[in-house]
Amino acid sequence: MHHVFGPYTLYPDRAELIGPDGVVRVEPKAFAVLRLLVENHDRIVSREEMIEVAWGGRFISDAAVSTALKFARKAVGDDGSGQAMIRTMHGLGHRFVAPVERRADATTVVQAVVPAPEQTDRRPTIAILPFAQNAGEAVHVGDGLADEIISSLSRLRWLRVIARESTFRFRQDGIDLEGLRRVLGAGYALSGRVELVAGRLNVTVTLIETLSGSVIWADRFSPSLDDLHMARQEITAAVIGALDLQISQAEAATARTKSTEMLDAWGAYHLGMSHLLRFNARDNTIAEGLFERATLMDPNFATAFAGRAFALQQEASQGFMADAAPALAEMRRMAERAVELDPFDPFANMVMGRVQHIGGRSEDGLFWYERAIEVSPNFARGHYARSHIDILVGRTDQARAGVDTSMHLSPMDPLLGLMLTFKSLSYFVDGKMDLALEWSRKAVRSNQVHYLVLTTAAMISQVAGDTVEAARWATRLRELRPDATIAPYFLSNNFANPQIRDLVQRTLRDLGIPD
């Protein structure tokens, strides 16, 4: 499909804008913003949505968004004064106001190649290619690394990973993206290069979207060769954590460009996850609806049932509703269904652990969190969830090790603010208030919207003697959540030590947060 407006034609799949004088050069972020506005011309698009689609939800400045909008306007002959194409809706976002006509692309000639078989499995699909190496170096290093990534990545259940017997047929200097897409059905490809230099294993990796050829993510690792097995494990863990986040965000960005009626079950799931991790009542409700849609479209979709359980958990543990009991009961039912459908889904195991945890059975929760890690050792959120239990029962050294592992596996995770909060709480339980305050400040810099992050930052600041900062975060909490109470805090943080619980409750009351 392509879109026609005025003298312009926008081809989304080709990332191309044609104007009256031919191809219009558009900066990639500006094109992403323009495409989002054009494809959603029937509604207002918020800045947050632009950031989600064009920047993958990363923290960026307002100036960056304004610059992309400026270039998008310029590309279609518009400006901030006339606003004939892109209109600013003050306080709400922007809308593409010029009439837009959707047209089908002309039929193209299909080359004589064997197409990928029709897939009933609609999961995102990735091909891990054999890693290239310098001449003369042991081929087993690159092949072994690719092998380990394939094995570990396949445990993430929501992602379809092509077997090495198929992907290693594409061992060549250039990457045949069209072949990977049409023969193997791969929407994503991971390539890499290995070099052994001066006692170090230098590895560069690149994640590519096969349809557009755009680079989604790239990184470089350089561990010591003193322990080759350990070096490969470290690289594999870092790559798995990055792919888990980057592909999910890319899928959500693609789903966001489609109308709700066009979403398949996986598109609804990934779009639901992007709303879920915004930590507010409105987006949480949207996420729950998208997960429900996914489960209705595919009643065997274990990961979507787990997503719905997680949304219900947030509804209760962040106090989005006055009576948490109905949400918790439905959460249990969704989590049990997820585990029943796929006992090897790490996300399903994690939310089942959360059911037990919130229900006051910490050790039962620990069992399920450990299962999630056993199923997928590189599942970052499993490590962070287990650390939460360790904090509550006083195993603080073990808790900090778990938090550090989760942050190492997924340093850009949307739950980073919670990971930092848990590390802060571990020092709070130990009575090391200087370190507790240091880590709570890091947590609240990372996330200033999550109930647990803000409440913990206010509480720890107050106990540490920084009353100005405590008042600041308590005020911020009340601005976002005028109805916030203490009760949801203890739903998640059911401390085993009654003295710690009493101290937390007294402090939060002193800050004006009611029971």
Q: Measuring CA to CA, which residue among 455, 447, 468 is closest to residue 428?
A: 455
Residues 358 and 451 in one domain: no
- Residue 251 resides in a domain: no
Tell me the average pLDDT across 121-132: 81
Residues 221 and 274 in one domain: no
Tell me the average pLDDT across 451-471: 95
Q: Phi and psi (nearest 5°) for 100?
A: -125, 135
- Residue 392 resides in a domain: no
Residues 237 and 135 in one domain: yes
Residues 351-405 pLDDT 10s: 999 999 998 888 889 999 999 999 888 888 899 999 999 999 999 999 999 999 9
Show Cβ contacts of residue 3 under 8 Å, excluding neighbours closer than 6 positions: 9, 10, 12, 38, 39, 100, 101, 102, 103
Residues 262 and 373 in one domain: yes
Residues 410-448 pLDDT 10s: 887 888 999 999 999 999 999 999 999 999 999 999 888
Using CA atoms, how far apart are residues 44 and 347, in angstroms rounded to an integer?
A: 33
Q: Enter the pTM of the model.
A: 0.67
Residues 171 and 224 in one domain: yes
- Residue 372 resides in a domain: yes
What angle in degrees, to the nearest 10, is found between the helix axes of 380-393 and 416-430?
20
Q: Measuring CA to CA, which residue among 435, 486, 442, 444 is closest to residue 464?
A: 435
| Pick from 195-204, 296-305, 479-488: least confident | 195-204
Please report, in angstroms and rounded to a whole number, the separation of the first and last CA atoms in the chain. 55
- Residue 19 resides in a domain: yes
Q: Which of 242, 268, 295 is the last residue of a domain?
A: 242
Q: Which of 324, 359, 377 is the last residue of a domain?
A: 377
The pLDDT confidence band at residue 48, using thresholds 50, 70 and 90, is confident
Residues 509 and 412 in one domain: yes
Q: Which domain holds residue 43?
A: 2-103
Structure tokens at 170: 């594409």
SS3 letters for 126-160? EEECCCEECCCCCHHHHHHHHHHHHHHHHHHCCCE
The helix (H) or strand (E) run that includes residue 198 is none
> What is the per-residue pLDDT for 162?
85
Using CA atoms, how far apart are residues 211 and 323, in angstroms rounded to an integer?
A: 47
Q: Which of 72, 103, 134 is the last residue of a domain?
A: 103
Tell me the average pLDDT across 126-149: 74
Using CA atoms, how far apart are residues 75 and 22, in angstroms rounded to an integer?
A: 12
- Residue 191 resides in a domain: yes
Is the pLDDT score of 113 beyond 60? Answer: no
Using CA atoms, how far apart are residues 131 and 247, in angstroms rounded to an integer?
A: 20
What angle in degrees, to the nearest 10, is found between the helix axes of 302-317 and 265-276?
20
Residues 325 and 358 in one domain: yes
Output 481 or 433, whichever has higher pLDDT. Answer: 433
> What is the per-residue pLDDT for 116?
44
- Residue 229 resides in a domain: yes
- Residue 78 resides in a domain: yes
CATH number at residue 179: 3.40.50.10070
Residues 346 and 237 in one domain: no
Residues 237 and 262 in one domain: no
CATH number at residue 76: 1.10.10.10
Residues 89 and 131 in one domain: no
The pLDDT confidence band at residue 496, using thresholds 50, 70 and 90, is very high
Residues 168 and 264 in one domain: no
Question: What is the number of structural domains in the chain?
Answer: 4
Instruction: For residue 395, give Cα distances in angstroms to 283, 317, 439.
Output: 34, 23, 18
Amino acid residing at 159: L
Is the pLDDT score of 56 beyond 70? Answer: no
- Residue 49 resides in a domain: yes
Residues 6 and 98 in one domain: yes
Output 60 or 418, whichever has higher pLDDT. Answer: 418
